[in-house]
Amino acid sequence: MHTKTIAQLAKGLRAGDYSSQELTASYLARIKQHTELNSFITVTEEQALTVAKQADMALATGNAPLLTGIPIAHKDIFCTQGVKTSCGSKMLDNFIAPYNATVVEKLDTAGTVSLGKLNMDEFAMGSSNETSFYGAVHNPWASNTVPGGSSGGSAAAVAARLIPGATGTDTGGSIRQPAALCGITGLKPTYGRVSRFGMIAYASSLDQGGPMTQTAEDAALMLQAMAGFDAQDSTSVEREVPDYSAGLNNSLQGLKIGLPKEFFDDGLNNDMASCIETAINEYKKMGAEIIEVSMPNLKLAIPAYYVIAPAECSANLSRMDGVRFGHRCTDPVDLNDLYIRSRGEGFGTEVKRRILVGTYALSEGYYDAYYIKAQKIRRLISDDFKRALQEVDVIMGPVSPSPAFGIGEKTSDPIEMYLADIYTIAINLAGLPAMSIPAGFIDNKPIGLQIIGNYFAEDKLLNVAHQYQQVTDWHQQTPQGFA
């Protein structure tokens, strides 16, 4: 039953094919069986079985919410009350969250059973899951390759069918890129759609949580539970949540798909370009119209991101000071020594790089030249998208320039790793929703198609993704050894 989707499992639970306790035990056994992937940081077996038991009682009443009894797991960036929330860092290795993130609370209310916490790049800073204090996660499609990042544990666990769905977060591509590299479906909602309360902050003006699942249909079910206004998040948007499943089967006849010519220039390798072209052709067969659009400022997205994200992270991570929670050095001689050594010991190299760049960019005399300049560039990029989305319904392109790369292959040159996020980062700067769906294989490694929509058009994205999944079976492929 581990290859079933959330939608299928929900039916099975109601039909009495299995209980939530059986389902939970079966997934827990798979998680134990596949520790070689290193996708989990914490497994909450006992709690999960208790919640599953309650879920079975709720299901027996006949009016339990749709996701009741469905096992999921959370990226370890979401605070879970009474459970270690490490954010992939030594700094928070001893941090037992005293409260739940809103996303966790909402999914609990929706009836899901959390099986534990998933591995990730330290403080979500990375594109390969190699910066985690708990070690690299292995891609189930090829164990010597990365699963992508920063939500690498979430993507690997869903791809290996250790769980049917997971939460992830996306600041510059951290849901979409690992989804692409692991051959699953990932959705980054519009900025402000999903509450950031209790989601450990990296870059507050870019961070957004979302679902990672096998199918678009499942992503709709999870997003339904996750989305909505939250007074505890100052940037949460007060706007009604539509029924994300209602329009999944709408026809795509006349759908206008924009292809930004900047996505398909020399930087994209031929194999990737041809996979994306094949996917676009499927849409043409469904009646979609293809329109070339232009995003002249797209190339500035990485430079702007590597000012804005580090600047915001340097401010956000100042709360990790060894005073109220987290790692504290031994025998500090004075307060400065306590700060400096606690932070020096607690953070890894990539996190330190970004704190340093951010501190520099925000320091006296540099603020206008870096941060304000980057925010102006951000508006130019956002305007490019707004212009294009007046002409078309969705924009499509690749997620990542190549399929999964080797573990250790890009660690010596951080800049090279940053440049690989070229197709995802601009979307965060603009605050738009976007998805990655499985769209083929290169050398037996999955690749993703990116679908970008207008603000709050998650329903449209899910419809467009679901229709593709009705005529293709890339999303049903399971890596060898995990079927």
Partner 1 sequence: MSLTADDVNKIAYLARLGIDTQDTESYAKDLSGMLDLVAQMSNINTDDVAPMAHPLDQVQRLRTDAVSETNNREAFQKIAPQVEAGLYLVPKVIE
Catalogue the active-site residues: 75, 150, 174
Q: How far apart are CA 130 and CA 119, in angstroms?
A: 10
At its nearest, how many Å lie between partner 1 and the CB of residue 307?
5
In the shown chain, the binding pattern of residues 108 to 147 toward partner 1, with x for contact by CB under 8 A and - for none, equals: ----------------------------------------
Assess 357 for contact with partner 1 (CB under 8 A): yes
Q: Which of 2, 378, 410, 445 binds partner 1 (CB under 8 A)?
A: 378
- Closest C-alpha among 164, 90, 39, 110 to residue 320: 90
Shortest distance, CB of residue 376 to partner 1, whole angstroms?
Answer: 4
- How far is 108 from 251, CA to CA, in rounded Å? 34
Beta carbon of residue 57, minimum distance to partner 1 (angstroms, whole number): 28
| Residue 411 sits in the site that holds partner 1 (CB under 8 A) | no
Kindly indicate which of the ranges 39-47, 130-138, 161-169, 365-373 contains the residues binding partner 1, using the contact rule CB under 8 A.
365-373
The shares of helix, strand and coil residues in the chain, as percent rounded to the nearest 5, are 40, 15, 40
Min. distance of Cβ 368 from partner 1 in angstroms? 10
Q: Which of residues 363, 470, 476, 480 is near partner 1 by CB under 8 A?
A: 363
The correct pick among 106, 161, 196, 341 for binding partner 1 (CB under 8 A) is 341
Residue 353 contacts partner 1 per CB under 8 A = yes
Token duo for residue 360: 């520099």
Closest CA to 129 of 161, 104, 157, 110: 157
Q: Please pick, from the candidates 8, 382, 472, 478, the single residue that binds partner 1 as defined by CB under 8 A.
A: 382
Q: From CA 4, how far away is CA 69, in angstroms rounded?
A: 14
Residue closest to 41 by CA, chosen among 200, 156, 127: 156
Pair of tokens at residue 7: 């939608």
Q: What is the DSSP letter of 80?
A: B
- Of 231, 246, 471, 483, which one interacts with partner 1 (CB under 8 A)? 231
Give dist(CA 119, CA 63) in Å, integer.
34
Q: Is residue 205 reached through a cis peptide bond, with omega within 30 degrees of 0 on the bond before it?
A: no
CA 131 to chain CA centroid, Å, is 16
Read off the tokens for 207. 């961070």
Residues 296-325 that bind partner 1 (CB under 8 A): 297, 299-300, 302-304, 306-307, 310, 314, 318, 321-325
For partner 1, which stretch binds (CB under 8 A), given 31-39, 96-104, 178-186, 246-254? Answer: 96-104
Only segment of 107-115, 124-132, 275-283, 374-382 that touches partner 1 (CB under 8 A):
374-382
Instruction: Return the sign of the alpha-carbon dihedral for residues 229, 230, 234, 235.
Output: negative
Residue 480: CB partners within 8 Å, gap ≥ 6? none
**Residue carrying the six token digits 């094949």:** 278
Is 423 among the residues that bind partner 1 (CB under 8 A)? no
Regarding 78 and contact with partner 1 (CB under 8 A), the answer is no
Q: Exactly one of 191, 202, 468, 474 binds partner 1 (CB under 8 A); which one?
A: 191
Cα(280)–Cα(257) distance, rounded to whole angstroms? 9
Residue 335 interacts with partner 1 (CB under 8 A)? yes
Q: Is 42 helix (H, G, I), strand (E, B) or coil?
A: strand
Choose the binding region for partner 1 from 27-35, 104-112, 148-156, 229-237 (rule: CB under 8 A).
229-237
**Contacting partner 1 (CB under 8 A), which of 94, 109, 444, 470?**
94
State the minimum distance, in angstroms, from the CB of residue 67 to partner 1: 28
